[in-house]
Structure 1
Amino acid sequence: MRVPGTLRQKLIAAAGSGAIGIAALLATTFEGYESRPYSDPTGTLTVCYGHTGADIDPRKTYSREECQTLLDQDLAVADRAVQRYVTVPMNAYQRGALDDFVFNVGQGNFKQSTLLKRLNSEDYSGACDALRDWVYSNGVKLKGLVTRRELEAAVCSFGVEQ
């Protein structure tokens, strides 16, 4: 999958904010905005742009500002995990795609992944391709995850194929 034209322009603009800007664009594209808590496909209480955790008040309606703050905090945690576990150089697109991936699947899954092993052995192409393996939730292949992983893989390869 190539990055669609409109999103390609947004990615280039987001790159000015670095990896977290790229990850924020991806996360908001796929998570959407929900001001009221809901259960995601795995039954996890979720709010805003995919925020999960014990800090969610199930009776509260969250403002856009609160949701942006939660997203910024969540992406910062994901980015720190990527920086902690990746031992090879990356460009902003690779790191942004991985930040979004870790935000979505969790740092524990990332730390144990074949994707990370490939990346740390400098198999950049294999690592980006491995994103496509993460399309199941509770054993069910989800169309939304297929689309998200295809785009993450394209973004992961974006700066390399220029």
Structure 2
Amino acid sequence: MSPGLRKLLISLTGASALTIASVMVPELEGVRYTPYRDVAGVLTVCYGHTGKDIIPGKRYGQNECEKILSEDLQPFSRAVEQAVTVPADEYQKAALISFSYNVGISAFEHSSVLRYLNAGETEKACAGLRQWIWAGGRKWQGLVNRRDVEYEVCHWRRSQP
């Protein structure tokens, strides 16, 4: 994790999981103002936004991308809140919001990450994040890096940064 991101996330102690995730996701996704195909071939723009509303060839602005991200994160935050049935701190939930934003709600809801967490096996749940490093049939260093950050954030409350 970059020192800048670490410092920013630490400063959010006491913030909601959604607020923490809204800082993590742009760092982990990066931003592209023109639509492109991601590693799995999915049309994508801004901070990893996918969907039928993307206009190929359009140049999106910074404010537009921030608004899209804010709207995009809402269902992932709700999914984490509904799916996690055991006490979890805001950093753990933020890591799960970031994870689900990347893999999709259905994949998150059916993942061993969630099963382990809800079974009270927090270490196995956090470690399970690191298994999700494949896209389009191959391992991606970008996903390895992302999962390392999510893993670290998943542990913060217990180990304090």
Q: TM-score, normalised by structure 2?
A: 0.94
Per mean C-alpha deviation after superposition, the further-off stretch among 23-32 and 148-157 is 23-32
Checking the alignment, whether the CA contact within 8 Å between 1:86 and 1:116 is kept in structure 2 is: yes
3-state DSSP of counterpart to 1:159: helix
2:51 pairs with one of 50, 53, 66 = 53
CA positional deviation for 1:16: 4.8
Checking the alignment, whether the CA contact within 8 Å between 1:22 and 1:96 is kept in structure 2 is: yes
Checking the alignment, whether the CA contact within 8 Å between 2:15 and 2:90 is kept in structure 1 is: no
RMSD (Å) for aligned C-alpha atoms? 1.3
Which residue in the other structure is 1:64 paired with?
62
Which residue in the other structure is 2:38 paired with?
40
1:133 pairs with one of 131, 134, 138 = 131
3-state DSSP of counterpart to 1:57: coil
Q: How many residues align?
A: 160
Which residue in the other structure is 1:106 paired with?
104
Q: Partners of 2:2 and 2:62 in 1: how far apart? A: 27
Residues 61 and 5 of structure 1, relative CA distance in 2, 3 Å threshold: closer
Residues 51 and 140 of structure 1, relative CA distance in 2, 3 Å threshold: same
Q: Partners of 2:19 and 2:157 in 1: how far apart? A: 15
Match status 1:157 vs 2:135: no
Q: Partners of 1:5 and 1:125 in 2: how far apart? A: 24
CA positional deviation for 1:145: 0.2
1:96 pairs with one of 94, 97, 100 = 94
CA positional deviation for 1:13: 2.0
1:43-85 Cα shifts (integer Å, max 9, x gaps)? 1000001000011111321111110111111111110110111
Q: Partners of 1:6 and 1:35 in 2: how far apart? A: 23
CA positional deviation for 1:89: 1.1
Which residue in the other structure is 2:121 paired with?
123
1:18 pairs with one of 16, 33, 36 = 16
1:89-128 Cα shifts (integer Å, max 9, x gaps)? 1111001110000000000001111111100011111100
CA positional deviation for 1:5: 3.9
Identity of aligned residues (%): 43
CA positional deviation for 1:31: 1.2
One-letter amino acid matched to 2:55: D
Q: TM-score, normalised by structure 1?
A: 0.93
